[in-house]
Amino acid sequence: MNNTNDINDLQVIDPELSTDKESLSASKPLIARDSEKLPKKKAGRPRHQILATTRNEVYELSKVGTRYEDIATVLGFSEDTLTKYYREELDKGRIESNAIIAGTLFEKARQGDTASMMFWLKTRAQWSEKNTTELTGEGGQPINIKVVTGID
C-alpha cells in the first residue's frame, strides 16, 4: 500500500456523507484528518436548566429575606448562576416583602406607636438624633490642661 491517502481510505465522520461523485461535487465530506474543519463540541459544564419549581423556590426564599449566598447553597448552584438566571424572582420577592413590612410599619405609626413613628421619620424623612457635648473650662473659658509628671 502506498503512503498517499486516498479519500476512500479515510474514515468519514458523518455517515450521511458519502464519497460518491454526486455528493463530492455538492460538498466536501468531513474526514478525520481535517480536524480544523470539524464542528467544535462545546466543552465544559452544561447550561443551567431553569425550572418553574426552582423559580418559585427562589422567589419564596427571597421574599423572606434569605441572603443570595444561602439561596444558591440550598438550591445547589453558584451565586453568579442565581443572579444571572433568577434576577426577576430575587427582585420581586425582595420588593414585595419590603412593601408589606413598610405598610405594617406605616399603619403602626398612624395608630400612635412612638417607636414606629421615630423609625419612620429617621429612615424616610432623614430625621436624626444628634447629641453634642461641649466641654469648657471655668466661666466658659478654654480648658486648661496641667500635665503632672513625677520629674521636678
Interval 12-33: pLDDT, tens: 444 444 455 554 445 554 444 4
Q: How far apart are CA 103 and CA 96, in angstroms?
A: 11
> Do both 28 and 61 map to the same domain?
no
Domain-embedded: residue 84: yes
Range with lowest mean pLDDT among 36-40, 51-55, 136-140? 36-40
Q: What's the pLDDT score for residue 32?
A: 45
Q: What's the pLDDT score for residue 21?
A: 52
Size of the chain, expressed as the number of residues it contains: 152
> Do both 72 and 99 map to the same domain?
yes
Q: What are phi and psi of 65, to 5 degrees?
A: 85, 20
pTM exceeds 0.85 = no
Residue 45 per-residue DSSP state: S
pLDDT digits (tens, 9 = 90+) for 114-141: 999 999 999 888 888 888 888 888 888 8
Q: Check if the beta carbon of residue 124 is closer than 8 Å to that of residue 102.
A: no
Domain-embedded: residue 71: yes
Query: Which domain range does residue 90 map to?
Result: 52-103
Neighbour tally for 134: CB within 10 Å: 5
> Domain total for the chain?
2
